[in-house]
Every structure is written in structure tokens, then in C-alpha cells.
Structure 1
Amino acid sequence: MTILVTGGAGFIGSNFIRDWIDLVNEPVINLDKLTYAGNLDNLRHVEASPRYTFVQGDILDTDRVRSLLAGHEVRAIVHFAAESHVDRSITGPDQFVQTNVVGTAQLLQAALERWQHGQNIRFLHVSTDEVFGSLEPDDPPFVESSPYLPNSPYAASKAASDHLVRAYGQTYGLPVLTTHCSNNYGPHHFPEKLIPLLIHNATSGKDLPLYGDGRQVRDWLYVSDHCRALRLVLADGQPGTTYNIGGNAERQNIEVARTVCAALDRQQPLERGRSYSDQIVLVRDRPGHDRRYAINSTKLRNELGWAPLENFDDGIGKTVQWYLSHPGWVEAITSGTYRDWIARQYS
């Protein structure tokens, strides 16, 4: 048997595949279109493994997906492939609808066809807490039954894909599972997202831009903890069920920036006792910016025995250390197109 991972060259997908090859004696096929955030360098560690196969392709290519499912004993699909950056969804929402909504629908249909022909297959859909919208400071964290109130095109496209996944389970009986995770961080994270952007800019002597007043709150989850939760859900989750995965580490963005700077101050000190935190600047807020996210993972803890192992300060320390130890990886992906986009976004 084998599993099919979509979007496995991205941040979370590549971490999932590396952990899978190291920890699970089962083959994995990685289907990835290799857009700007997909990077095969993320998978050098496993590319020589006989249990790993890479296929360059788009989830919108139904013939390619059907061929993979028919040609291999695929027992499960782990669906990461998505456009995922809120800022990019604001400036170009069409691609988010195509990939996140239409792509998920076509992938579900291909899985359903194999399942109806007797292939035992599970569909694990990796979603986000952003589908639930924004919390007030004193609101309790999101639970699996929280109402959907997406505020960005990205969140709306993921909400739509969540509903499609549920519908295929309810209508056709396809064994589907959905997870909602909080903000991930860790190695191999493309530096358009907050933490790797802070590290990259700080070590490049640039401003560390924070939207608005910098007081937006996110719940932070170390990526290896997320991947471990996904393995548990895939193995033992009840079909038709959703599970929240949170790091129990709510932090304001300004606190995150200061924690990153403190780790950099320890690991790569600046001259004359200066701190990287001196580079923090506030910039114009983005439209529809959600104020707070928080995840309640009690269901996952109680049913499957999962809990995050990494605390935030140690996780940030490990993340900073990884980026400082891999300057070539950073340089290779921060190309001209990336620099142009960052300049437009934070000008």
C-alpha cells in the first residue's frame, strides 16, 4: 500500500513527507505542481529513498490524478496542495478559487471513483483555523463546531473546500477527514510568512515589518507537532470527523518578532550590543486583517492522545538555528520575483 501526498514540496507537506519516510515503513507519492512556494530542495533528505516518488503535476490535471490512483495501491490521500498566503489572495483571488476549491473538488471526485470501484481509500484534508474568522480578546478558542466566518479570499476558498470534503463524506460515504491547524512554523518555511520573513530580513539588515499595531494574536504550532497529529488522524481518526490542531501558544505578532530577535541576539549577535529588535517597524495594515485566532485541541487530545511537544520559545530557537545553518537554501528561493513582491507588499 502507499499514500498520495498533494503539495508535498511545500512547507508543511515536505516536513510531513520527511517525517513519514523516517518513521513509517510505507511508500509515499508526492504530487506537486512546483509553484513559487514548492521547493524540491526541501526533500533532498528523502529523494534517494526507494519508498519516495515525486511526480510533478497539478491536482487540476484529472487525468494525471486518476492515473496515479489507478496505477498504485493508494490507500490514502493527504491533501496539502493549496494557495495559502492571505496577502496574495487579496491581490489575486482567482488562483485561490481554482486551486483550493476546484482542485479539491476534482481530487475528491477522483478518489470517489476509485473508492466506488472497491479501492479502500481515505481522504485527509488539511485545512486552517482561518475558516472560522476572527476572535475577540475574551472569546474562547475555536472548536470543531465553531461557525464558519471567513474574512479573506484565502479563508473563503479553504472554507469552500472544507464543505466539499464534508459533502463527499455525507453524500457518497467517502471516508473523509478534515483538520484545522493554527499557524505553523519551523524549518523550510517560505519567507513570505511572518517568522521566516522576520529571520530573513533581520539577518539581511532590513526592516522587520509588522502590520498595523502588531497586536494581532495567533496560536503557533511547531510543524513537526502538526505532522505527528496528521499521522494520528490518518491512522485512527473517525471518518467524517474534523479535528482541531493547535499549539497552545497564543502570541501577539509583536511578541513573536521580539522572540525571534532574542533568539537571533543569542545565536548571531550584532556588534556593539545592538539588538535585532531595533529593526522592527509598523506598516499599514492589510484589508480585513483578522485580530485573533486560537485553537482548542481537546477533541484530538481526548480521542487520539495527541499533545504538542514543542514549546514556543524552544521551537523558535530551533527554527532560527535552522535558517542560520542553511543560508544557501534561503538565497536560492529569495529570487528577484520574491524580492519584488515583498517590496510591493510592505512598501
Structure 2
Amino acid sequence: MVKKKVLVTGGAGFIGGNFVQYMVKKYPQYDIYNLDLLTYAGDLTKHKEIENEENYHFLKADIADRDAIFALFETEKFDYVTHFAAESHVDRSITDPGIFVKTNVLGTQVLLDASKKIGVTKFVHVSTDEVYGELDFDPTTFFTEETPLEPNSPYSASKASSDLLVRAYHETYGLPMNITRCSNNYGPYHFPEKLIPLTISRVLNEEKVPVYGDGKNIRDWLHVIDHCAAIDLVLHEGVNGEVYNVGGHNERTNLEVVKTIMSTLGRSEDLIEFVADRLGHDKRYAIDPTKLEQLGWKPTYNFEKGIAQTIQWYLDNKDWWEQIISGEYQKYFEKQYTSKLQS
């Protein structure tokens, strides 16, 4: 039997990395290809447990490198593409918007062109609720798949642009695709610059935790494993051409999240340090996932269960995030993979 080939772009990142592990373990009958450029947030140490599995393969490439991507697609003839690869940190997009356009927009176009050329079975584009802009604090309002796109940061604008490209390739060329838009993810292997792992690591080190503005901005939190299950379902059951929102119905202010972590770890709230607010900081995100639930998805984690598990994971895996903070993880690829790629 010929194995189906699933390409996961950005599989050394947080969400893509969890998805790679999820797919390798759940589908031994598939070959899972992890394609990543290994920029500052790309970490292969998280895959030590699966790197020797027969159905796991790592490919180092830039999604914006047309020649390299076309050569890979022509050689491997992927059946499915799940596209996670993106520059994703809003603060970095404010400082350097250009790299976000290059990776998130031009890189997506290259993948679409390559997918169209070989005729993939499905292209799943993993996007974000941030493309919808912001909601007010009315708890009865939610983003739906029909909400207009009104991105407010260079990051979310680049993601909205890539969403529209994916839609256009479906409408113009008939490329089979789905777009998913998720709320804020959390869980194992979250890069330490993001709110939850940043707070955990700094609290454990008795360091001040920066909180933007008054900390009242609200996010809907989604456990990364619930997100992986959603992508899996959309990949196999999603109606061609449709958009699906993935949300956890776990709204919390940023300050509530920080205080929950401090309370769980038994640390004083004196470690909180309010700092100048982020430029264009959206007030609130909240997703209505009804459409995806009708497809058969339900989240398994509420925030209380998920954050407790996540905090415990960081306590149990200090070696991982300490080497991320120190930058030592960046040496892993050279040590572990260079000789394999040269052979």
C-alpha cells in the first residue's frame, strides 16, 4: 500500500510542531513531512521522541524559495498540505513588517503554486482570529466565518492577505482547500516570548512579568491539542472551499491569565509590571465555533484544566525552555541533522 504524504509547513514551531507529533502518532499509515526553515522560533528538540519513527521526515527549506519548494513538491508528490508556517509574533511585526509579508504572503503563494501544479488532494491553511480585527467588551458578540476581515497589525494583515490568496486559488483554479482561524493557543512547547510561557518562565525565575496597558485585553484561549484535533478533522472532513473558526470559549483578560499562573505557582502578584501598551492592541477576540462543532469537533480542555496541565508541563520540562531562552536549541539541528542531510 502506498502511504499518503502529508506536508506540515512550520512543523518546528509551536502549533505545527504539536500537529506533527499528533499526526505521526495517530496515522502510522501516513508519511508526515515536517518542513521548516528553522528561524529563531523553529525548534527540533521537541521532536526527539519521534525523529526516528519511520513515518516522520524533516525537510529544511524556506517556503518563499520557489525553486526549492517546487523541487520538493515534484519529488515527493504530497497528497495533503497543512500550512502552519508563518511569522507570528505581533510585536516583531510592528518592528519589522517586511519579513511578515515575505513569509506569510509570498511564501503562501509559492506553496499554492506548487500545490496547484502537482494537484494536491487538500490544502489546509491555518490562520488566526486576528484577521477579523477586534471585538468590543460585549460578551454576547463573537467572530463568525462571515465576519469581515479588518486586521489591525502588520502580522494580522499579512495573515488576512494569505487567507485571501488561498480563497482566490480555490475560486480561480479550483484548488481544494480549507481555511481555519483559531483563537490564542497554549500548551506544551509554546515559544517563551508568548504570554503564558513568558509568564511561567519569568515567575519561576522570580523576574518581573510585563503586562501591556491595564491588562484588560481579552483573549479566547484554545489548548493546542484541541486545535490539532480540529485541523485533523478539517483535513479529512472539511467541505471544500469552506472556512472554519476554531475557538475554545475560554475568554480571559491578560491580567487574569497572569494572576492565575502566579497563584498556581504560589508567587506574589508583586512580580506584575505594567508597561506601555502595544501599538494597535486589539481589545478582545472571541470565536463562535458552531460551524466546526457541526462538523464533529468539540474541545476537550477548559481553561482551568488546560492551564494547570500547561504549567505542570513547564515545571517538568525546564530543560527544554531554559535551552530555548539561552539559544542552545539552535545548535541541535547542526548536530543532529547536518550529517544526515549530507549523506
Q: What residue is the counterpart of 1:272 in the other structure?
A: none
Amino acid at match of 1:297: P
Q: Hey, what's the Cα distance between the residues in 2 that align with 1:11 and 1:108? A: 23
Q: Hey, what's the Cα distance between the residues in 1 that align with 2:323 and 2:61? A: 22
Q: Hey, what's the Cα distance between the residues in 1 that align with 2:101 and 2:326? A: 26
Q: Hey, what's the Cα distance between the residues in 2 that align with 1:239 and 1:336? A: 41
Tell whether the 8 Å contact from 2:77 to 2:118 is kept in structure 1 after alignment. no
Instruction: Kindly report which structure 2 residues correspond to 1:175-190, keeping only aligned pairs within 5 A, or say none.
Output: 175-190=176-191
Equivalent residue pairs, number: 324
Q: CA deviation at 1:337?
A: 11
Q: What residue is the counterpart of 1:111 in the other structure?
A: 115
Tell whether the 8 Å contact from 1:263 to 1:316 is kept in structure 2 after alignment. no
Q: TM-score, normalised by structure 1?
A: 0.91
Asked if residue 196 in structure 1 is aligned to residue 197 in structure 2, the reply is yes
Q: Hey, what's the Cα distance between the residues in 2 that align with 1:109 and 1:166? A: 13
Q: What residue is the counterpart of 2:36 in the other structure?
A: 32
Q: For residues 252-309 of structure 1, give each alpha carbon's deviation from its aligned partner in whole angstroms, at most 9, with x where no partner exists.
A: 01111111112222xxxxxxxxx3423112111011000000000000001x111110
Q: What residue is the counterpart of 1:170 in the other structure?
A: 171
Of 219-228 and 67-76, more deviation after overlay is shown by: 67-76
Instruction: Kindly report which structure 2 residues correspond to 1:1-347, keeping only aligned pairs within 5 A, or say none.
Output: 1-25=4-28, 26-115=30-119, 120-138=120-138, 140-265=141-266, 275-302=267-294, 304-335=295-326
SS of 2:42's equivalent in the other structure is: coil
Amino acid at match of 2:227: H
Q: Hey, what's the Cα distance between the residues in 2 that align with 1:66 and 1:263? A: 49
Q: CA deviation at 1:238?
A: 0.8
Tell whether the 8 Å contact from 1:202 to 1:276 is kept in structure 2 after alignment. no
Q: Structure 1 residues 122 and 224 mapped into 2: Cα distance closer, same or farther (>3 Å)?
A: same
Q: Hey, what's the Cα distance between the residues in 1 that align with 2:236 and 2:252? A: 31
Amino acid at match of 2:128: T
Q: For residues 90-117 of structure 1, give each alpha carbon's deviation from its aligned partner in whole angstroms, at most 9, with x where no partner exists.
A: 00000000000000011101111111xx
SS of 2:62's equivalent in the other structure is: coil
Tell whether the 8 Å contact from 1:264 to 1:276 is kept in structure 2 after alignment. no
Q: CA deviation at 1:72?
A: 2.0
Q: Structure 1 residues 337 and 330 mapped into 2: Cα distance closer, same or farther (>3 Å)?
A: closer
Q: For residues 147-191 of structure 1, give each alpha carbon's deviation from its aligned partner in whole angstroms, at most 9, with x where no partner exists.
A: 111000000000000000000000000001100000000000001
SS of 1:184's equivalent in the other structure is: strand
Q: Hey, what's the Cα distance between the residues in 1 that align with 2:175 and 2:189? A: 33
Q: What residue is the counterpart of 1:268 in the other structure?
A: none
SS of 1:49's equivalent in the other structure is: coil
Q: What residue is the counterpart of 2:341 in the other structure?
A: none
Q: Structure 1 residues 49 and 205 mapped into 2: Cα distance closer, same or farther (>3 Å)?
A: same
Q: Hey, what's the Cα distance between the residues in 2 that align with 1:196 and 1:316? A: 11
Q: CA deviation at 1:313?
A: 1.0
Segments of structure 1 that go 5 or more residues without pairing to the other structure are 266-274, 339-347
SS of 1:77's equivalent in the other structure is: strand
Q: Hey, what's the Cα distance between the residues in 2 that align with 1:185 and 1:289? A: 19
Q: Hey, what's the Cα distance between the residues in 2 that align with 1:102 and 1:27? A: 27
Q: Hey, what's the Cα distance between the residues in 2 that align with 1:20 and 1:110? A: 23
Q: CA deviation at 1:228?
A: 0.2
SS of 2:181's equivalent in the other structure is: strand
User: Post-superposition, which runs of at least 4 consecutive aligned residues in structure 1 deviate over 6 A?
Assistant: none
Tell whether the 8 Å contact from 1:6 to 1:31 is kept in structure 2 after alignment. yes
Q: Hey, what's the Cα distance between the residues in 2 that align with 1:213 and 1:169? A: 42
Q: Hey, what's the Cα distance between the residues in 2 that align with 1:337 and 1:137? A: 41
SS of 2:134's equivalent in the other structure is: coil
Q: Hey, what's the Cα distance between the residues in 1 that align with 2:149 and 2:244? A: 15
SS of 2:40's equivalent in the other structure is: coil
SS of 1:5's equivalent in the other structure is: strand
Q: Give the CA RMSD over aligned residues.
A: 1.3
Q: CA deviation at 1:68?
A: 2.0
Q: CA deviation at 1:121?
A: 2.4
Q: Hey, what's the Cα distance between the residues in 2 that align with 1:60 and 1:288? A: 28
Tell whether the 8 Å contact from 1:219 to 1:293 is kept in structure 2 after alignment. yes
Amino acid at match of 2:188: P
Tell whether the 8 Å contact from 1:259 to 1:313 is kept in structure 2 after alignment. no
Segments of structure 2 that go 5 or more residues without pairing to the other structure are 330-343
SS of 2:98's equivalent in the other structure is: helix
Amino acid at match of 1:326: N
Q: Hey, what's the Cα distance between the residues in 2 that align with 1:30 and 1:68? A: 12
